């Protein structure tokens, strides 16, 4: 016979184990800390057996180009956009083999994948997720002859440049369309975690909507993860219940949100890729990456050995004018006067006549954050840490 | 607003609830199955895939259940026939489920399905407040609500229930009455896997209409925890699952009110609230643990 206390103990240990596992799994959905790759970059030199001299020109003479993605290539989102860029490279350079790896975690595993690609002849590698930066920097140190183009990074190296786009420009225009389309003036915005890029997009969207409807408000909901369909459905349903008639988002995948909105008769403004086919009725427009031409040009510069001193040597930011970011096609139910108004705003933005972040811009509590006449640089915008007037929601302190 | 939260509770709690009912059956027979997370993932993917191929969400539901059952068969074999440690095996099955579904699920991420949609029940859904909360859901949610009283009846009011409980409490009794406790445990684990699989399928083909790798995101583990805190009782496990769902809906509602509460804190609320509430329940009722839970079967069969 077992005493009750033994069973109590074993029951307690099971509970402890469960709590540990629960925290582990809940944590899995967070973007991992890029500083935490756990690999020692001092092992430099041991890997580079065929001793590249320091004057090797990075990017030249490879037989392949490598792309690594943090998710799957057809997620109607971030990874799909990057994947389409890799397809453009494949078509433009039939002589180069395109190596792709999907679902590469933002950890030391990414280093292993990149090393493998280098062994297979890649001299140019595109690590396309924010958290791939630290692994890429480590590999770049070991292989000075290989060129790295990292998507969205804020650090660079001799043979590593980063690229990104001023996506807030089309987000602002999509916000204008949203402000025109919404009947109630109540907009919903589903986001992951409060990083500057996310806050900037919420602000741009809200400023766009309020430029045509000063009464419009944006309800922001943080889900804590980049792609958890269950949480996305919760968030979408909760916003729809509270009376928003248009949903937008900044998540890595958007299929669940767009479909949930469509089933509930609510409009959507997309992000990352064109998902209009998921919402034939409610699709308004969206913001997209258009990496194809940029990637092709970056490979051209790299293989020609002209990386040093080119615009990609550092932090390159493509704009709406460069066609690196663009507005998605309009939905079938968007009236032509709305389309032409947004196109007009787009032309004004391209000509420099319109600046979405022209002061005065106030934050949620009414403090002026951008003074009248003040022009912010891209870098200043990319360090946004507040939400503008008209946004309902809180940034964690 | 309260009606919205309660509706959200049922919407987001149903998948967890189904899995916890399954785990409850398994644990009543003495087998803890941490692989529930894996069963849910297999059910979510299997159900989604079959719905894509057949266009019929009912077929998808059955397939989801069978996928959950299949992976729990591995657990049952290792634990019951080979005498492996239940917790270690369960964890392994959980990670196995994650890997297998991530691998086979790659092609399904962008697929569209015609899944289950909310079906308001005529008349009942017109009742103010209650109608919206209880009678405006997808068919699987209604079935899961019916399942709970049925399970309660089965476990506590039928001979089958006594056999099930005996397998988890005193296997000698079963030996004495000529019933093989191993067989009972096998069936209980498989039934648990089947229900967990349906829970996963509810998530993929009724709630989100999507498949994304690791989309269960810990809900299976929450389900296992709920069973323990619910003292192995179906109704309490159901309430626990709905409480978990309510906390998720609550944190989203609170965010929309624009209150100055950190979302990071709110993300934690569903887990903490569920644990605390069930802990209080657990403290009142001493030791409901099935006596042979987690024990490797000693009898020769």
For residue A197, name the pLDDT band (cuts at 50, 70, 90): confident
A90-108 pLDDT tens trace:
999 999 999 999 888 888 8
| Closest by Cβ to A2, choosing from B12, B258, B291 | B291
**Chain A residues 191-230 with CB within 8 Å of chain B:** 194, 219-222, 224-225, 227-230
| Residue A32 belongs to some domain of the structure | no
Highest mean pLDDT among A11-20, A369-378, B68-77, B210-219: B68-77
Q: At what angle do helices B234-256 and B219-229 cross, to 10 degrees?
A: 130
Closest residue in B to A6 (Cα) is B291
> Which residues in chain B have their CB less than 8 angstroms from residue A72's CB?
106, 109, 213
Give the pLDDT band (50/70/90) at residue A44: very low
- With a cut of 80, say whether residue A203 has pLDDT above it: yes
Q: Do B215 and A228 touch (CB under 8 A)?
A: yes
Task: Enter the ipTM.
Answer: 0.85
The overall average pLDDT reported for chain A is 86
Q: Is residue A155 part of a domain?
A: yes
Domain span at residue A300? 58-165+291-318
| A-proximal residues of B, 47-76, CB under 8 Å | none
The whole model's pTM is what?
0.83
Q: Which of A70-74, A137-141, A227-231, A343-347 has the lowest mean pLDDT?
A: A70-74
A90, A189: one domain:
no
Do A300 and A222 have their domain in common?
no
Contacts with B, A 377-396, CB within 8 Å: 392-394, 396
Task: Specify whether the CB–CB gap between A82 and A132 falls below 8 A.
Answer: no
Cβ atoms of residues A287 and A325 within 8 Å:
yes
For each of chain B's 301 residues, which pLDDT tens digit applies?
Answer: 788 889 999 999 999 999 999 999 999 999 999 999 999 999 999 999 999 999 999 999 999 999 999 999 999 999 999 989 998 999 999 999 999 999 899 889 888 999 999 899 988 888 888 888 899 899 999 999 999 999 999 999 999 999 999 998 888 888 888 999 999 999 999 999 999 999 999 999 999 999 998 899 889 989 998 888 788 899 999 999 999 899 888 888 888 877 777 767 777 777 777 777 667 766 655 556 777 777 655 444 4
Judge whether residue A33 has pLDDT over 60: no
**What is the pLDDT at residue A41?**
37
**CB within 8 Å of chain A, chain B residues 199-258:** 203-204, 207-210, 212-219, 221-222, 224-225, 228-229, 248-249, 252-253, 255-258
A242 and A295 share a domain?
no
A295 and A152 share a domain?
yes
CB A238 within 8 Å of CB A221: yes
Say if residue A50's pLDDT is above 60: no
Q: How many structural domains is chain A composed of?
A: 2
Does the pLDDT of residue A213 top 90, yes or no? Answer: yes
Are A103 and A183 part of one and the same domain? no
In this structure, is residue A200 part of a structural domain?
yes
Whether B225 sits inside 8 A of A18 (CB atoms) is: yes
In a shared domain, residues A65 and A123 = yes
Kindly report the backbone phi and psi dihedral angles of residue B138, in degrees, each rounded to the nearest multiple of 5, phi listed first.
-80, 160
pLDDT value for A49: 39
Is A241 in the same domain as A188? yes
Q: Indicate the residue of A17, A76, A238 with minimum beta-carbon distance to B4.
A: A238
Q: Is residue A17 part of a domain?
A: no
Task: Please check whether residue A29 lies inside any domain of the structure.
Answer: no
CATH number at residue A146: 3.40.50.2300
Q: Where are the domains of chain B?
A: 14-216
Are A145 and A82 in a shared domain? yes
**In this predicted model, what pLDDT tens digit does every residue of A244-299 receive, in sequence order?**
999 999 998 899 999 999 999 999 999 998 899 999 999 999 999 999 999 999 99
Q: Is residue A43 part of a domain?
A: no
Q: Which helix (H) or strand (E) holds A190?
A: strand A186-191
Give me the residues of B, 101-120, that contact A with CB < 8 A. 102, 106, 109-110, 112, 117
Same domain, A283 and A298: no
Same domain? For A262 and A330 the reply is: yes
Mutate to test the interface with B, among A11, A18, A28, A222 (most CBs of B within 10 A): A18
Residue A309, pLDDT above cutoff 90: no
In a domain, A27, yes or no: no
Over residues A150-188, the pLDDT tens digits come to 998 888 899 999 999 999 999 999 999 999 999 999 999
Q: Say what the pLDDT of residue A1 is.
A: 42
Are A376 and A258 contained in the same domain? yes
Q: Are residues A248 and A339 in the same domain?
A: yes
The reply to whether B267 touches chain A by the CB within 8 Å rule is: yes
Q: Which residues of A touch B285 (CB under 8 A)?
A: none
Asked if the model's pLDDT at residue A7 lies above 70, the reply is no
């Amino acid at each position: 016979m077992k005493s009750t206390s033994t069973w109590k103990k074993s029951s307690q240990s099971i509970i402890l184990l469960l709590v540990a596992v629960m925290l582990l799994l809940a944590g899995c959905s967070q973007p991992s800390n890029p500083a935490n790759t756990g690999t020692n970059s001092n092992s430099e030199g041991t890997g580079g057996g065929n001793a590249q001299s320091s004057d090797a020109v990075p990017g030249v003479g490879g037989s392949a180009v490598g792309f690594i993605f943090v998710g799957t290539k057809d997620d109607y989102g971030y990874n799909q956009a990057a994947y389409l860029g890799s397809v453009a490279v494949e078509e433009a350079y039939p002589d180069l083999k395109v190596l792709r790896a999907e679902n590469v975690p933002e950890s030391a595993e990414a280093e292993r994948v990149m090393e493998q690609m280098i062994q297979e002849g890649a001299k140019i590698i595109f690590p396309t997720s924010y958290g791939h930066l630290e692994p890429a920097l480590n590999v770049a140190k070991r292989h000075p002859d290989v060129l790295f183009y990292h998507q969205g990074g804020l650090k660079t190296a001799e043979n590593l440049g980063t690229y990104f786009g001023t996506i807030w420009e089309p987000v602002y225009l999509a916000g204008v369309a949203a402000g025109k389309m919404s009947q109630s003036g109540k907009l919903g915005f589903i986001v992951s975690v409060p990083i500057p890029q996310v806050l900037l997009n919420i602000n741009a969207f809200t400023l766009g909507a309020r430029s045509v409807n000063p009464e419009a408000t944006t309800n922001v909901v943080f889900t804590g993860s980049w792609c958890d369909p269950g949480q996305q459905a919760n968030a979408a349903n909760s916003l729809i219940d509270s009376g928003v008639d248009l949903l937008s988002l900044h998540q890595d995948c958007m299929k669940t949100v767009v479909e949930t909105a469509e089933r509930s008769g609510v409009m959507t403004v997309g992000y990352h890729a064109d998902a209009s086919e998921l919402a034939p009725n409610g699709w308004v427009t969206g913001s997209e990456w258009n990496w194809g031409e940029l990637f092709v040009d970056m490979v051209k510069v790299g293989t020609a050995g002209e990386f040093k001193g080119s615009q990609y040597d550092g932090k390159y930011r493509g704009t709406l004018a460069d066609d690196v970011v663009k507005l998605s096609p309009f939905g079938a139910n968007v009236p032509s006067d709305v389309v032409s108004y947004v196109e007009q705003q787009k032309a004004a933005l391209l000509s420099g006549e319109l600046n979405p972040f022209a002061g005065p811009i106030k934050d949620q509590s009414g403090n002026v954050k951008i003074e009248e006449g003040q022009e912010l640089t891209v870098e200043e915008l990319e360090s946004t840490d507040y939400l503008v007037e008209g946004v309902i929601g809180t940034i964690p302190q | 607003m309260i009606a919205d939260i309660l509706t959200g509770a049922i919407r987001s709690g149903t998948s967890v609830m189904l899995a916890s009912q399954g785990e409850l059956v398994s644990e009543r027979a003495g087998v803890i199955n941490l692989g529930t997370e894996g069963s849910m993932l297999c059910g979510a993917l299997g159900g989604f895939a079959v719905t894509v191929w057949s266009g019929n969400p009912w077929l998808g539901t059955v397939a989801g259940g069978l996928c959950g059952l299949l992976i729990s068969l591995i657990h049952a074999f290792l634990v019951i026939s080979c005498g492996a440690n239940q917790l270690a095996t369960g964890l392994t099955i959980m990670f196995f489920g994650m890997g297998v579904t991530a691998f086979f699920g790659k092609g399904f991420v962008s697929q569209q399905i015609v899944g289950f949609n909310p079906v308001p029940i005529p008349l009942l859904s017109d009742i103010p407040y209650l109608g919206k909360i209880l009678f405006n859901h997808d068919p699987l949610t209604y079935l899961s609500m019916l399942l709970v009283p049925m399970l309660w009846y089965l476990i506590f009011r039928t001979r089958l229930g006594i056999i099930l409980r005996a397998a988890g409490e005193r296997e000698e009794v079963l030996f004495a009455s000529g019933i093989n406790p191993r067989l009972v445990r096998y069936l209980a684990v498989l039934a648990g896997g089947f229900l967990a699989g349906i829970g996963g399928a509810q998530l993929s083909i009724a709630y989100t209409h999507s498949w994304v790798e690791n989309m269960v995101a810990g809900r299976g583990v929450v389900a296992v925890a709920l069973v323990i805190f619910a003292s192995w009782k179906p109704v309490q496990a159901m309430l626990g699952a709905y409480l978990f769902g309510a906390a998720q809906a609550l944190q989203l509602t609170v965010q929309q009110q624009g209150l100055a509460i950190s979302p990071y804190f709110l993300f934690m609320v569903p887990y903490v609230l569920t644990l605390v509430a069930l802990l209080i329940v657990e403290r009142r009722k001493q030791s409901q643990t099935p006596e042979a839970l987690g024990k490797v079967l000693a009898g020769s069969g």
